[in-house]
């Protein structure tokens, strides 16, 4: 009996209160089209020492005692929660999409790491007294190394959740951001554990060279061996043991084990959990029902408990030092947005997409706070710097979603047909029926939007039933309005014409699929009008239909839409 | 940072190991047709001080440290786990079924409480030295009161899980056992907190009279007010906020809150959680998908962690005192099986059913161990008595399912038609089609088997499609083989004949539905043969079809089948 009767009461009560306020504000932020994670972190600030602790200190002390079993039990829960969240995030990663983005991810992560590191290191090394460190102290180098690392590390859980909330996690851009963040954080943690080792603050665990070997061995084992074993094992488990019980267990047993291993090696537990999620989620034998059960339970019950716990840790008013906060903010924003953005641009994205990626990578959160706390305990930073890091982590996380949305809009929403309908979106199809065409295009659209093919196809078929979308002259323009942030236009040249029930009875030989954000009727009408006026002429349809290769068609369409 | 880096490693590793062994043995016990809970508790004994701790003390000490943050965090998790398990058990309770069983439940709980209490109290009061208590000590009365209470309390989580595993939770018998166990435990906890109060071991909380008032007020508020509010609120929440996210949250927020309240009042947290589950589950607006997500996640991830944690607490070999163990076992088995069985018999069940209920109520487990631990800490009992209580709790839990299965078999499986087809199973129906008849009978069968109406109906329709079940002479015998432990036979007299596609083209006016256990082909054939030979004669079918009331039909059928 480690927890007393009275502590059990407080423990259950405070979980109930935390869950309520976190999810309530989360839902409220959802209503104003913000990711719910912001509401959940904000709920922590309201319930933490900053507000509740200052206004009703007795209630605060009762609900969140600082001594005894409750804070330890609570940290046990939030540790499990963040590990579970990363397992779920891993399950949703599309490995083949990441592999396709290697080049962009490489540039994004390299620049998104090096530039923030320099921006963090240089001022801290040359002006340590500004951050409360004596200039002649032997710790200046360590301090500067720490600040460089703290600014260059991302926050995988925050980024993954933000992308999930924005419905972007499974999209191409989401995968670039996730892939870059993984690489970033892996390096960041290695450097950080190296700093801790130099400070003598790391008393257990293993040496630095060994650590690198462990990580390398771990990644090789997970991706090259265990991934294939799991793909073979899942059908066996599902057949031999109870379903979905045994699969749920398998996922968490493996996830916790991998988490324990990476934590042991000195990288944070969440990496192992994330990688375990990725390699299990990669198996085609993992059923949708299993994912759904885990996803719903973890994102709705455990993730909020983790995010609200961040705000509970500090008093943001008492330890507030404006100049330090501002400098840290400027360095953090500049370093990550410029660094990751520049990397994405060099990796082949357009300017607005690069800025969106820059802000996507800019999210800090849990990681900085954990790092900051370790550094504070080791006497490496002052409390004012710690508060600045926390505020920076929160602001970067809070601005991530709106800024991404804004630049994605600039990049995608306001563009005209010629910008959206690039050669990547043009296909030559050999289809038997309109259903065939729609199914193939829905599969392509699924990759761009992060929605499922089945869902998109259903929407398209429903729309088709309502009113056929064959226009005239052999052109058909199926469309759907979905919950996405930017429009997708795909053009299919059909090798043999297929009936789309046009009023002139001419079967369609060119099909333009328009998927537009549900709340943007005008955008859809503009795209439709542009498609009809620029491509709808009988001669032009015929010319496009005669194309034999995608390049030829793309060239021709460019000449029509320019 | 309350938990060190090294402790996080151990914490995650040990959860992973616990989950693996608990579920692996659980699945193995399932394979030999035992409830998985037995495998889970057994896994705890293997990993606990009894086996692993004795053979590999270093590994045991590494995985399950006794000091520091890990044991506290682990207890936090298992506390949450048992609270969640009780919320889920509550969700599955059918309130209207319980209300129908008031009389039987009243007798069962009263006798199941009073007789074990007397059997516990008397020997401990008159022979305290046998249990290591000095006869002249002023604690003899308290000790005897404690032992009476410890023997009369049930283990709601164990019982609920056993019934779930046996697919009996939603059945009539399951509801009698659950209803009786709730009443039992409510009284047991009140008495126990009274004893703790007398010992001065209860330092916080509220007085005894106040406690009774709180409990009464809590029950009235939950069942009469909040139940109706929730039924109104659920559709609003589902419409206004995200689904299923907001509903999952609502269930756990309310569950944890109610748990905190009952814990505060001095009754264990699990009661509040259970009652909260019951009143939410009673709403017809709670969707199947929500139940499914919670059920799968909690029973597969959290419940095993709780049950395995029981075996981790003691060394069963070092503190073993055979005479004490035997006496406690005899008193416990005799008290509960005789008490609850006698109550059930007086409440109208037959002898074998009563014995099944007696063994169902006999399960102890978590509760005794928690009680025992509190008493041990307060110096009220010796370690040998504690170990005896734990062994008793485990053995009663482990024998519960097999004994229930055995007596239910004796009661139901081996009986002949006359025993199964009682007047409760005869109905007069006014139906338009064979589908109507089957749907109505499936609904009745659902109540007896604990399976869903939809599922049973689907099985019946599938069977009907394969081969029509109209026999001849106006008799139809639809049937299904399902995963149940005893057969169900229902007879419907149809006011107007309905076509069941008999080969003689005579529409059916008497329909006998036979549902038999899937693995008992012979039983089904016997019942079928008996039905055809005893009821299939044209005159007899006609005579039954002419009956106007259920009583008349029951009387007639009895004369045919006797």
A273-292 pLDDT, tens digit each: 988 998 998 888 888 888 88
What's the mean pLDDT in B169-189? 80
* A-chain residue closest to B70, CA distance: A76
CA angle A211-A212-A216, nearest 5°?
115
* B-chain residue closest to A305, CA distance: B249
| Whether A259 and B1 lie within 8 Å, measured CB to CB | no
Residue-wise pLDDT for B321-355, tens only, equals 899 999 999 999 999 999 999 999 998 888 888 99
* A-chain residue closest to B370, CA distance: A1
Q: Which of A355-359, A443-447, B147-151, B304-308 has the lowest mean pLDDT?
A: A443-447
Residue-wise pLDDT for A134-183, tens only, equals 777 778 888 898 899 889 888 777 788 788 777 777 777 888 888 888 87
Percent of chain B with pLDDT over 70: 93
| pLDDT for position B556 | 86
Task: For A239-272, give one letter per residue: b (16+ CB within 10 A) or e.
Answer: eebbebbbbbbbbbbbbbbbbbbbbbbbbbbbbb
Architecture of domain B5-413: Up-down Bundle (1.20)
d(CA B251, CA B228): 15
d(CA A331, CA A370): 19
Query: In this structure, what DSSP letter does residue A135 have?
Result: T
Architecture of domain B417-561: 3-Layer(aba) Sandwich (3.40)
**H/E/C letters for each residue in B491-555?**
EEEEEEEECCCCCCCCCEEEEEEEEEECCCHHHHHHHHHHHHHHHCCHHHHHHHHCCCCHHHHHH
Question: Do residues B276 and B89 lie in contact, with contact meaning Cβ atoms separated by under 8 Å?
Answer: no
Distance of residue B8 Cα from the nearest chain A Cα, in angstroms: 7
| Whether B76 and A79 lie within 8 Å, measured CB to CB | no
Q: Which of A6, A10, A16, A243 to mutate to test the interface with B (most CBs of B within 10 A)?
A: A16
Tokens of B67: 């000091």
Distance of residue B178 Cα from the nearest chain A Cα, in angstroms: 24
| pLDDT for position A33 | 66
| Whether B19 and A299 lie within 8 Å, measured CB to CB | no
Q: Which of B31, B40, B73 to mutate to test the interface with A (most CBs of A within 10 A)?
A: B73
Distance of residue B102 Cα from the nearest chain A Cα, in angstroms: 32
Architecture of domain A93-290+316-413: Up-down Bundle (1.20)
> Confidence band (pLDDT; 50, 70, 90) for A202?
very low
| Whether A75 and B19 lie within 8 Å, measured CB to CB | no
Percent of chain B with pLDDT over 90: 24
| pLDDT for position A171 | 75
What's the mean pLDDT in B118-147? 87
Distance of residue A15 Cα from the nearest chain B Cα, in angstroms: 7
Closest CA to A265 of A220, A185, A207, A184: A207
| pLDDT for position B401 | 84
Mean residue pLDDT across chain B: 84
What's the mean pLDDT in A197-201? 60
What's the mean pLDDT in A180-190? 78
| pLDDT for position B203 | 47
d(CA A108, CA B237): 42
CA atoms within 13 A on the CB side of A241: 20
Nearest to A11 among B19, B79, B296 (CB): B79
- At A64, give phi and psi (nearest 5°): -130, 70
Q: What is the separation of C-alpha B372 from the centre of its chain, rounded to a whole number of angstroms?
A: 23
* A-chain residue closest to B165, CA distance: A242
* A-chain residue closest to B309, CA distance: A1
Closest CA to A216 of A132, A161, A275: A275
Residue-wise pLDDT for B488-502, tens only, equals 889 999 988 988 888
Distance of residue B244 Cα from the nearest chain A Cα, in angstroms: 7
> Confidence band (pLDDT; 50, 70, 90) for B229?
very high
pLDDT above 50: residue B50? yes
Distance of residue A262 Cα from the nearest chain B Cα, in angstroms: 8
More confident residue, B64 or A469: B64
Where do the structural domains in chain B lie, given as residue ranges? 5-413, 417-561
| Whether A75 and B205 lie within 8 Å, measured CB to CB | no
d(CA A213, CA A472): 64
Closest CA to A399 of A344, A452, A359: A359
**Contacting residues of B for A1, CB less than 8 Å apart:** 75, 373-374, 377
Q: Which contacts of A505-510 are long-range, i.e. CB under 8 A and separated by 24 or more positions?
A: A506/A470, A506/A472, A506/A473, A506/A474, A507/A470, A507/A474, A508/A434, A508/A470, A508/A474, A508/A475, A508/A476, A509/A474, A509/A541, A509/A542, A509/A544, A509/A545, A510/A474, A510/A475, A510/A476, A510/A535, A510/A541, A510/A544, A510/A545
Q: Can you tell me which residue has the tokens 């995010």? A: A307
Q: Which of B72, B86, B314 to mutate to test the interface with A (most CBs of A within 10 A)?
A: B72
pLDDT above 90: residue A271? no
| pLDDT for position A411 | 59
d(CA B377, CA B306): 21
Q: Which of A557-561, B144-148, B258-262 has the lowest mean pLDDT?
A: A557-561
Mean residue pLDDT across chain A: 84
More confident residue, B2 or A548: A548
Q: Give me the residues paired with residue B517 across strands.
A: B482
Length of chain B: 562
| pLDDT for position A258 | 95
Nearest to B5 among A16, A204, A304 (CB): A204
Question: Do residues A285 and A234 lie in contact, with contact meaning Cβ atoms separated by under 8 Å?
Answer: yes
d(CA A501, CA B534): 64
d(CA A50, CA A390): 13
Q: Which of A18, A21, A76, A87 to mutate to test the interface with B (most CBs of B within 10 A)?
A: A76
Query: In this structure, what DSSP letter does residue B12 have?
Result: H
| pLDDT for position A118 | 94
| pLDDT for position B34 | 67
d(CA B297, CA B294): 5
Question: Do residues B247 and B286 lie in contact, with contact meaning Cβ atoms separated by under 8 Å?
Answer: yes
What's the mean pLDDT in A426-439? 88
d(CA B542, CA B539): 5
**Contacting residues of A for B252, CB less than 8 Å apart:** 16, 19, 301
pLDDT above 50: residue A16? yes
Taking residue B316's Cβ as centre, other Cβ atoms within 10 Å add up to 17
| pLDDT for position B169 | 76
**Contacting residues of B for A65, CB less than 8 Å apart:** none
pTM above 0.90, yes or no: no
Residues 6+ apart with CB under 8 A from B254: A16, B230, B276, B280
d(CA B49, CA B60): 7
Distance of residue B88 Cα from the nearest chain A Cα, in angstroms: 13
Question: Do residues A93 and A172 lie in contact, with contact meaning Cβ atoms separated by under 8 Å?
Answer: no
> Confidence band (pLDDT; 50, 70, 90) for B413?
low
* B-chain residue closest to A295, CA distance: B293
| Whether A79 and B11 lie within 8 Å, measured CB to CB | yes
| pLDDT for position B201 | 47
Q: Which of A202-211, A499-508, B278-287 has the lowest mean pLDDT?
A: A202-211
pLDDT above 80: residue A326? yes
Closest CA to A101 of A300, A338, A317, A343: A343
More confident residue, B295 or B378: B295
Tokens of A431: 């289809």
Tokens of B423: 């007047």
**Contacting residues of A for B242, CB less than 8 Å apart:** 27, 30
| pLDDT for position A529 | 78
Percent of chain A with pLDDT over 70: 93
| pLDDT for position A391 | 85
| pLDDT for position B202 | 46
| pLDDT for position B554 | 84
pLDDT above 50: residue A325? yes
What's the mean pLDDT in A24-42? 82
| pLDDT for position B200 | 55
| Whether B263 and A12 lie within 8 Å, measured CB to CB | yes
| pLDDT for position A538 | 86
């Amino acid at each position: 009996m480690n927890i007393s009767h009275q502590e059990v009461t407080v423990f259950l009560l405070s979980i109930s209160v935390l869950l309520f306020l976190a999810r309530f504000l989360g839902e409220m932020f959802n209503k104003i089209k913000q990711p719910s994670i912001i509401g959940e972190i904000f709920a922590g600030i309201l319930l933490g020492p900053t507000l509740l602790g200052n206004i009703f200190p007795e209630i605060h002390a009762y609900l969140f005692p600082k001594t005894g079993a409750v804070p330890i039990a609570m940290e046990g829960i939030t540790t499990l929660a963040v590990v579970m969240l990363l397992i779920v995030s891993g399950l949703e990663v599309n490995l083949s999409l990441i592999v396709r983005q290697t080049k962009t991810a490489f540039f994004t992560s390299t620049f998104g790491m090096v530039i923030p590191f320099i921006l963090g290191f240089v001022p801290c090394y040359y002006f340590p007294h500004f951050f409360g460190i004596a200039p002649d102290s032997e710790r200046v180098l360590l301090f500067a190394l720490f600040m460089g690392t703290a600014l260059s590390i991302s926050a995988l859980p925050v980024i993954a959740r933000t992308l999930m909330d924005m419905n972007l996690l499974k999209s191409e851009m989401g995968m670039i951001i996730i892939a870059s963040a993984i690489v970033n954080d892996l390096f960041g943690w290695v450097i950080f554990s190296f700093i801790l080792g130099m400070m003598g603050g790391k008393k257990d665990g293993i040496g630095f060279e060994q650590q690198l070997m462990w990580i390398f061995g771990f990644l090789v084992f997970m991706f090259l061996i265990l991934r294939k074993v799991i793909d073979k094992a899942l059908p066996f488990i599902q057949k031999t043991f109870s379903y979905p019980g045994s699969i749920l267990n398998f996922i968490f047993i493996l996830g916790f084990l991998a988490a324990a291993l990476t934590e042991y090696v000195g990288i944070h537990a969440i990496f192992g959990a994330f990688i375990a999620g990725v390699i299990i989620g990669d198996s085609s034998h993992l059923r949708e029902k299993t994912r759904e059960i885990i996803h719903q339970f973890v994102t709705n019950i455990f993730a909020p408990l983790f995010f609200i716990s961040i705000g509970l840790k500090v008093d943001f008013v008492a330890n507030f030092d404006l100049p330090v906060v501002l400098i840290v903010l400027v360095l953090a924003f500049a370093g990550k947005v410029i660094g990751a953005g520049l990397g994405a641009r060099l990796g082949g994205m357009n300017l607005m997409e690069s800025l969106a990626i820059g802000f996507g990578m800019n999210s800090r959160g849990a990681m900085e706070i954990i790092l900051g706390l370790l550094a504070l305990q080791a006497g490496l930073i002052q409390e004012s710097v710690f508060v600045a890091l926390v505020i920076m982590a929160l602001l970067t996380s809070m601005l991530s979603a709106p800024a991404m949305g804004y630049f994605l809009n600039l990049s995608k929403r306001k563009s005209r047909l010629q910008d959206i309908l690039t050669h990547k979106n043009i296909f030559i199809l050999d289809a038997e029926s309109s259903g065939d065409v729609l199914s193939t295009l829905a599969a392509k659209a699924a990759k761009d939007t992060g929605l499922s093919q089945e869902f998109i196809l259903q929407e398209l078929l429903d729309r088709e039933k309502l009113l056929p979308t064959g226009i005239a002259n052999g052109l058909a323009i199926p469309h759907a309005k979905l919950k996405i942030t930017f429009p997708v236009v795909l053009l299919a040249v059909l090798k043999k014409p297929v009936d789309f029930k046009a009023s002139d009875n001419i079967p369609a030989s060119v099909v333009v699929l328009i998927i537009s954000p549900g709340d943007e009727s005008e955008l859809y009408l503009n795209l439709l009008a542009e498609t009809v006026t620029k491509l709808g002429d009988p001669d032009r349809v015929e010319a496009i239909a005669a194309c034999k290769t995608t390049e030829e068609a793309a060239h021709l369409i460019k000449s029509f839409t320019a």
